[in-house]
């Protein structure tokens, strides 16, 4: 604590940030670490593992899901979602709950609405403020490690690094998956520009867009944690045809990002540096279900919450993304798995439940023994959930058979010495 106070005092006197992160040279290139210059002077560390596949399997055709829904935003801030895809809705309900349900309509109130009136029935005479109609089809198939057209992208959140995905990267690379995990700017071993504008949502999202374009395959799966979920959502909108599935781990509700004006992270950088031991203790308390020696070792071993005070302050104040509202999330047609740690004190379970209601195809799984850093606390359970989701594919229900209309019988003429015509069998059509 005394060391942090002295360093913080020097930071205030010299106007220089303490513990600035700079890229380091890796001595183990065989582990798949690369340094990618996304912009001049902006270098990100990326772990890219291309496994040796003894056998390559052709992907299955999977099933086609009809994505039809109507999203209406009314002037009082009410969001009304009507799912129109009857067969797709029934199939997804069957996979999730084991029961078949008809079309569903979701009626919620926008969180960023200034009008706090409770939801009411929607009269037909009310004019909508905005209407979005989605009418498309998606082919969803199982993604196996033996499929060469599949890539997994792992994106961490504030204060983390690619090291928090260590268990997942090792597990899925052993199964044959190609995995990509970057360090955000200012995190891990990526470069740390000394300018706050380098850590806005749009600057970081542009970094992730360039990383995705560099490593993307035909079918890509995005896995995001906390703030990293927002970047995954951004990429799913930017590349809808290339994103096959998506995983949100403790990502929160489908609300637009806006930095809080009354936050401890608005304090000067030198003050935050003096408070860094307290912040680390608070993160351990809120980010883990238990606060023992194992959890402290996980924080140290996986390089979690090891970021400079300047970067931390810039990251928190740069979380401005007004486009990422409920409608933005409701427009997604990609299947989404939501994983939530029950003891998470950063993200309440109600936020992930709301996200599941807004999304078109969502499966919510809650782990009772996990918290915000659930991938570190319960790596085996998280790996199993993710792998099952990667292998999941919908079974498209066959269209209902139309019964042929009965033709009215024609009375036969009563004639003598007239023989019946020979019966002619129709040719059998070939199935293609």
The catalytic position among 226, 276, 308, 371 is 226
The side-by-side arrangement of strands in the sheet containing 105-109 is 105-109, 78-83, 63-74, 128-140
CA separation for the pair 226, 246 (Å, rounded):
14
Residue 309, number of CB atoms within 10 A of its CB: 27
User: Which pair of structure tokens corresponds to residue 226?
Assistant: 């906390």
| 372 annotated active-site | yes
Crossing angle for the helix pair 166-174 and 379-391, to the nearest 10 degrees: 50
Residue 332, C-beta contacts closer than 8 angstroms, at least 6 positions apart: 233, 236, 237, 246, 359, 360
CA separation for the pair 80, 73 (Å, rounded):
6
Alpha-carbon distances of 41 from 156, 198, 311, 425, rounded to whole Å: 22, 11, 17, 78
Q: Note the Cα 349 to chain centre separation in Å.
A: 16
Cβ–Cβ under 8 Å, residues 102 and 32 = no
The catalytic position among 344, 352, 371, 387 is 344
The catalytic position among 147, 329, 372, 387 is 372
| 226 annotated active-site | yes
**Residues recognised as catalytic:** 226, 344, 372
């Amino acid at each position: 604590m005394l060391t942090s106070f002295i360093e913080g005092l020097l930071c205030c006197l010299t106007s220089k940030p303490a513990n600035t992160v700079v890229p380091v040279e890796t001595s183990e290139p065989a582990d798949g670490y690369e340094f990618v210059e996304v912009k001049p002077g902006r270098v990100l560390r990326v772990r890219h593992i291309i496994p040796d596949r003894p056998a390559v399997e052709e992907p299955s055709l999977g099933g086609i899901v009809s994505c039809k829904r109507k999203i209406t935003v009314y002037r009082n801030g009410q969001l009304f979602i009507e799912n129109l895809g009857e067969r797709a809705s029934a199939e997804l309900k069957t996979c999730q709950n084991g029961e078949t349900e008809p079309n569903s309509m979701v009626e919620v109130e926008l969180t960023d609405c200034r009008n706090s009136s409770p939801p009411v029935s929607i009269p037909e005479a009310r004019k909508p403020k905005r209407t979005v109609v989605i009418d498309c089809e998606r082919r969803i198939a199982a993604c196996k490690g033996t499929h060469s057209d599949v890539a997994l992208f792992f994106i961490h959140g504030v204060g983390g690094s690619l090291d928090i995905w260590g268990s997942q990267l090792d597990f899925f690379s052993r199964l044959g998956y190609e995995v990509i995990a970057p360090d955000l700017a200012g995190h891990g071993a990526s470069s740390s520009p000394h300018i706050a504008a380098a850590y806005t949502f749009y600057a970081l999202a542009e970094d992730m867009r360039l990383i995705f374009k560099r490593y993307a395959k035909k079918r890509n799966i995005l896995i995001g944690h906390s703030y990293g979920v927002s970047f995954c959502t951004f990429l799913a909108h930017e590349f809808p045809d290339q994103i096959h599935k998506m995983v949100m781990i403790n990502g929160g509700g489908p609300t637009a990002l806006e930095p809080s004006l009354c936050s401890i992270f608005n304090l000067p950088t030198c003050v935050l540096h003096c408070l860094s031991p307290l912040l680390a203790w608070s993160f351990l308390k809120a980010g883990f279900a238990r606060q023992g020696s194992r959890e402290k070792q996980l924080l140290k071993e996986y390089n979690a919450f090891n970021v400079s005070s300047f970067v931390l302050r810039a990251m928190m104040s740069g979380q401005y993304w007004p486009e990422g509202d409920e409608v933005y999330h409701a427009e997604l047609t990609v299947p989404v798995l939501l994983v939530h740690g029950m003891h998470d004190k950063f993200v309440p379970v109600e936020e992930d439940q709301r996200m599941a209601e807004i999304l078109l195809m969502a499966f919510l799984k809650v782990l009772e023994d996990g918290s915000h850093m659930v991938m570190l606390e319960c790596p085996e359970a998280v790996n199993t959930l993710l792998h099952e989701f990667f292998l999941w594919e919908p079974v498209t229900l066959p269209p209902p058979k139309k019964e042929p209309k009965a033709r009215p019988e024609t009375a036969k003429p009563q004639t003598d010495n007239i023989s019946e015509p020979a019966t002619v069998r129709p040719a059998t059509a070939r199935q293609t």
